[in-house]
Amino acid sequence: MEKIFQDLEPYSVPSYSNWFSWSNIHEVERFSLREFFDGSSITRSPRIYKEYRDFIISKYREDPSRKLTFTEVRKSLVGDISILHKVFTFLEKWGLINVDVKSDKEADNCNGNCKPISIGGEEEEEGWKGRVKVEEGAPYGVRVVAAPNSMKPVASLPPPPSVRADGGRGVGEVGENGFKWPPLASYSDVFGDSVQQEKKNVLVCGSCKEKCDSVHYEYTKEGSFILCEKCFKSGNYENKLADDFKLINSGNQSDVWTEAETLLLLESVLKHGDDWDLVAQDVQTKSKLDCISKLMELPFGDLMFGSANRKSKFLDVTGDVSNFKQAQLDFNESQESAKVEDPSHGLKDEGQQNGYADTQGQPLKRVRMEPTSNTSSSLMNQVARISTAVGPHVTASAAEAAVTALCYENQCSREIFDDDDNFIDLKASADNIEQKRAAQGNLLDGDEGPKQSETQGPSSHKDTIQINLRMRAATATALGAAAAHAKCLADQEEREMEHLMATMIEAQLKKLKRKMKYFDDLELIMEKENAHIEELEESLVADRLNVLQSIFDAGISRWRDHASVKSQTGVAVQFLIFILSSKAKSEKRIAQIWFSSQRTTLISQIEKPKSTVFLSWFLSQDSKNEDA
Amino acid sequence: MKSHSAWGTSKSLVKFRIPTSDNLVPIRLDIEIDGQRFRDAFTWNPSDPDSEVVVFAKRTVKDLKLPPAFVTQIAQSIQTQLTEFRSYEGQDMYTGERVVPIKLDLRVNHTLIKDHFLWELNNFESDPEEFARNFCKDMGIEDPEVGPAIAIAIREQLYEIAVQSVTSAKESRISKKGRRAGEFFSASKTGGNAVDLVKLFGNKSSVIRKRKEWDVYEPIVDLLSNEEVDALEAKEERNIR
């Protein structure tokens, strides 16, 4: 063990484990694993513990980057498996093994707290036994199977959809058909009470079987028959008389808010602010909670919450949307009303209130569906939404205002946007603001007439609008920046894609080149072999020639014999054919030999008419060979 | 009735129970009615009232849409196994130091598991479920039915061994009436498959196994294809009949 330790590089052990040493057993170990140290069993002793520990740690350190599993070590250790596991978890807990290893989804220290369905999410186990499909439905261990001999059809369970094991890697198919099993019997046991209670509270109409809303008609005579409002009106009485039905307005009284009540509520909120008791007093028919909830439901309810606080903080720029919206509302409303409010600081509350009072009906109608005070969405989203909510003229002027505001902030951008000399550096001075208003009025053409007058409106609004513009400018720049950034990213992505394409093509080309080289080599080999074979052929022919030569030399006398001439001629013809068919380079030599040998035969054959053809041919060959 | 051998508490007699941290009885059901076969295995807490058995049976039948004839059968089967367990409960068993080898050889749906390891019998805090959980986690088994199956297999083996030790305790008491000596030997005799502790854990040997033995104790998890599953099932059926 010591040797192994020395061969290794120093390892990082967590600082809380620096008590550990190879040669000793520390108090911590004695304390946590006291079974080994109390002499209770022959199977557990300090020596045994040390062996376990050293083995496990060494095994881990053979490859510290991978997570050592208990299963890997337990096969190599003799001992009760629970005790081994205890040692293993102890070492793991103290960071002596499996330090900084990508751990599984469940914590490594879950001593018995793991969920029973665990997923092996590690790379090392990817190549292992593959994945099992987890299927919903009755587990197969609980099986209802028809015996092979039985003729009865099996009550087959409908094909269970397979679901992806949660977080698992591509296992099984996703159960997208939304197939639902009927709830288990035990479900009703556990949740039955709550379900029952739900049922009780819902009144179902007797005839149309729909849920009755707040108002329903109850049959006063025997039985408890209920009709919903609709059915009652349509005369669907189910053999009962109309008189017998009593109207029961069991609906929640706090649900219905009339216009008058709403108006009252808003006014009182403006008056009393957050003092809900007073508000509830004013709105007599509704309770405190109802008021608050109703207010929140209203599209600008949130603003009411805030506006009451901001009476004195009118110029507060916090950048939140409600302020924005409020300012925009003002702007908006100032478009609508042709009247110009008197510029006075003292009236700003009234202006605000008037603004609200006027807009109460309209925005409530128009903008009811929009959660404008939803601060959870980003500023960009809200800007986008708000700009869609208002009219096009407003957005145009807003854009212009943003541009001008930008120019005020930054000298250079002036040239870009506009080179109107009327631009003045904007400070919070009345003159400048007036001039700015004028300038702005100059900018806006067309039907901005009323707007101009509005923009010269009360000074109490000026600062708000200025800030408003600033904010718009800020948002415009932010949008621009975001767009530029996006473009940069897009470009980068494209470049990356091209780069990847290039590497792919290069790889393909390399592959092809290799193949071609391989084929070239093959060709070379083939050629060599071809040459070799040709040589072989030649040598064979030469051998044959030698043999025949020796035959000729030896057996010339026999050729004088007429009887055997024919057969010899046959042989000669055969040989001739053979020679002709062979492409040996020693053709010349063959021909010479043959020539000399044939001379002797032909001389004997000259009287034969057949041989004239032969002779002519032979002579032509001769000349041919002499030419070659 | 404590023994007074030199080994102290290692040879004590305790009341019968499954030697794990929770005293749960493994129950196995295999019922066939009219050609329909219902097989299941689970653990039952013997301290639950018996009325629960019928409730459980009814619920199972309802959830699995089995014919109602199964209710009585299931309930009966569970009851029989429970009473059998309870019959041992009053008796004593040895809990000497015994380490027994546990072998797993089971097939759950598509997973085939073979394993071999040692389990200490007198460790009353052992937890087969935890072992099964770790096993599945380490081996990357995703089928949720495998874990419980492993735990139940372990429990069944432990149950059997516990039963054996009860019977042997009875025998030894009968045979060795009046004699106190030799209880150590009787304890080792009761467990024929117990591991020789002295040999393994004595001072002369190392608890690190020899490499050639690693394969024996290594778990093997196989995933079978559908055809193999069917083939195995057919074989099992044939064996049963």
* Per-residue pLDDT at B187 exceeds 60: no
Share of chain A above pLDDT 90, in %: 12
Percent of chain B with pLDDT over 70: 79
* Calpha distance A228→A212 (Å, rounded): 5
Query: Is the CB of residue A219 less than 8 Å from the CB of residue A226?
Result: yes
Residue with tokens 């949740």: A191
Sign of the alpha-carbon torsion through A539, A545, A550, A553: negative
- Positive or negative CA dihedral for A275, A277, A281, A286? positive
Q: In chain A, which among 37-66 make CB contacts under 8 A with chain B? A: 40-45, 47-48, 51-52, 55
- Inform me whether the C-beta atom of residue B228 falls under 8 Å from chain A C-beta atoms: no
Q: Which of B137, B161, B213 to mutate to test the interface with A (most CBs of A within 10 A)?
A: B137
Q: Average pLDDT for consecutive 10-residue bins of chain A (628 residues)?
A: 54 77 83 80 79 86 83 80 85 83 48 39 39 51 52 44 38 42 63 62 63 59 62 64 61 68 84 80 78 78 54 43 49 46 41 43 46 61 72 73 69 49 42 53 49 48 77 92 94 96 97 96 96 96 92 68 53 58 56 64 55 58 61
For residue A80, the distance in angstroms to the closest alpha carbon of chain B comes to: 5
Nearest residue of B to residue A86 by CA position? B126
Q: Residue A132 — φ and ψ, nearest 5°?
A: -105, 140
A31 part of contact set with chain B, CB < 8 Å? no
Counted residue by residue, chain B has a size of 241
d(C-alpha B94, C-alpha A149), whole Å: 48
- N residues, chain A: 628
Specify the pLDDT at position A516.
Answer: 96
The three-state secondary structure class of A504 is: helix
What pLDDT, on the 0 to 100 scale, is given for residue A519?
Answer: 96
Say if residues A57 and A96 touch (Cβ distance below 8 Å).
yes
The alpha helices in chain B, defined as continuous H runs, are 51-64, 69-89, 128-139, 146-175, 183-190, 197-201, 226-240
Quick one: pLDDT at residue A244?
Answer: 63
Q: Report the C-alpha gap between B203 and B209 in whole angstroms.
A: 15
Would the CB atoms of B207 and A78 count as touching at under 8 Å?
yes
Please, are residues B118 and A81 in contact by the beta-carbon 8 Å criterion? yes
Q: What tokens does A191 get?
A: 């949740």
Given an 8 Å threshold on Cβ–Cβ distance, is B139 in contact with A142? no
Cα distance from N-terminal residue to C-terminal residue, chain B: 45
β-strand partners of A227:
A217
Burial class (CB in 10 A: 0-12, 13-18, 19+), A535: exposed
pLDDT at A343: 40
B137 phi and psi angles, rounded to 5 deg: -65, -45
Interface contact A82-B38, CB threshold 8 A: no
- Residue-level pLDDT at A512: 97
Q: Does B28 touch chain A (CB under 8 A)?
A: no
CB B61 within 8 A of CB B49: no
Give residue A492's pLDDT: 96
Task: Determine the Cα–Cα distance for residues A448 and A446; give it in Å rounded to an integer.
Answer: 5
| Residues A59, A73 contacting (CB under 8 angstroms) | yes
Q: Which has the closest alpha carbon to A589: A556, A555, A544?
A: A544
CA–CA separation, A427 vs A415, rounded Å?
Answer: 20
User: Which residues, including other chains, have CB under 8 Å from residue B136's CB and lie 6 or more apart?
Assistant: A116, A118, B146, B147, B150
CA gap B4, B12 in Å, rounded: 9
Contact B9 A40 (CB under 8 A): yes
**Percent over 90 (pLDDT), chain B:** 0
What pLDDT is stored for residue A579 in this prediction?
Answer: 57
Please state the φ and ψ torsions of residue A211, each to the nearest 5 degrees.
-70, 135
Which pLDDT score is estimated for A601?
63
Query: H or E segment at B192?
Result: none
8 Å CB contact of A71 and B219: yes
A78: Cα separation from own chain's centroid: 46
Work out the burial of residue A335: count CB atoms within 10 Å of its CB; fewer than 13 is exposed, 13-18 middle, 19 or more buried.
middle
* Lookup result for tokens 């390892």: A11
Is some CB atom of chain A closer than 8 A to the CB atom of B110? yes
Cα A47 to Cα B204: distance, rounded to the nearest angstrom: 11
User: Strand, coil or helix: what is A85?
Assistant: helix
Instruction: Locate A440 and state its tokens.
Output: 């702005």
Give the separation between CA B41 and CA B27, rounded to whole angstroms. 6
Cβ contact B201–A148 (<8 Å): no
Stretch 112-131 of chain A: residues touching chain B, C-beta under 8 Å? 112, 114, 116-120, 122, 125, 128-131
Taking CA–CA distances from A47, the nearest residue in chain B reads B203
Q: For an interface test with A, give the residue of B207, B213, B214 to mutate (most A CBs within 10 A).
A: B207
Return the structure tokens found at A301.
């309810």
Q: How many residue pairs from chains A and B have C-beta atoms closer than 8 A?
A: 199
- B149/A contact by beta carbon, under 8 A: yes
Calculate mean pLDDT across residues B93-101.
74
Hey, what are B111's tokens?
């997973």
Four-residue CA torsion sign, A308, A313, A319, A325 = positive
| DSSP annotation of A11 | P
Q: What is the pLDDT of residue A50?
A: 85
3-state secondary structure of A211: strand
As a whole number of angstroms, the distance between CA A598 and CA A590 comes to 12
Q: By C-alpha distance, which of A308, A313, A312, A297 is closest to A273?
A: A308
Q: What is the pLDDT of residue B193?
A: 58
Quickly list H helices, A367-429.
379-389, 392-409, 411-417
Mean pLDDT of chain B: 76
Task: Give contacts of A119 with chain B, Cβ < 8 Å.
Answer: 140, 142
Residue B26 is inside which H or E element, if any? strand B25-33
Rounded CA gap, B49 and B79, in Å?
11
pLDDT above 70: residue B143: yes
Out of A43, A75, A129, name the one closest to residue B218 (CB). Answer: A75
Contacts with A456 (C-beta within 8 Å, 6 or more apart), sequence order: A340, A434, A437, A438, A441
ipTM more than 0.85? Answer: no
Asked whether B144 and A131 are in contact (CB, 8 A), the reply is no
Residues 6+ apart with CB under 8 A from A281: none
CA geometry: angle at B103 spanning B101 and B105, to 5°? 180
Nearest CA in chain B to A123: B140
Q: Rounded to the nearest 10 degrees, what angle do helices A587-605 and A610-627 cross at?
A: 150
What's the distance, Cα to Cα, between the start and end of chain A in Å?
A: 87
Question: How would DSSP label each residue in A527-577?
Answer: HHHHHHHHHHHHHHHHHHHHHHHHHHHHHHHHHT-HHHHHHHHHHHHHHHH
| Token couple for B169 | 């305790």
Residue of chain B whose Cα is closest to the Cα of A68: B138
What's the rounded Cα separation, in Å, for the pair A47 and A623? 106
pLDDT of residue A26: 82
Question: What Rg value do the Cα atoms of chain A yield, rounded?
Answer: 52
Please list the alpha-helical segments (H only) found in A15-67: 27-32, 46-62
Which residue from A206, A202, A203 is spatially nearest to A239, judged by alpha carbons?
A206
State pLDDT tens for residues B25-64.
Answer: 888 888 888 888 888 888 888 888 888 888 888 888 888 8
CB A70 within 8 A of CB B130: no
> Would you list the DSSP string of A450-492?
HHHHHHT--HHHHHHHHHHHHHHHHHHHHHHHHHHHHHHHHHH
Report the C-alpha gap between A164 and A136 in whole angstroms. 10
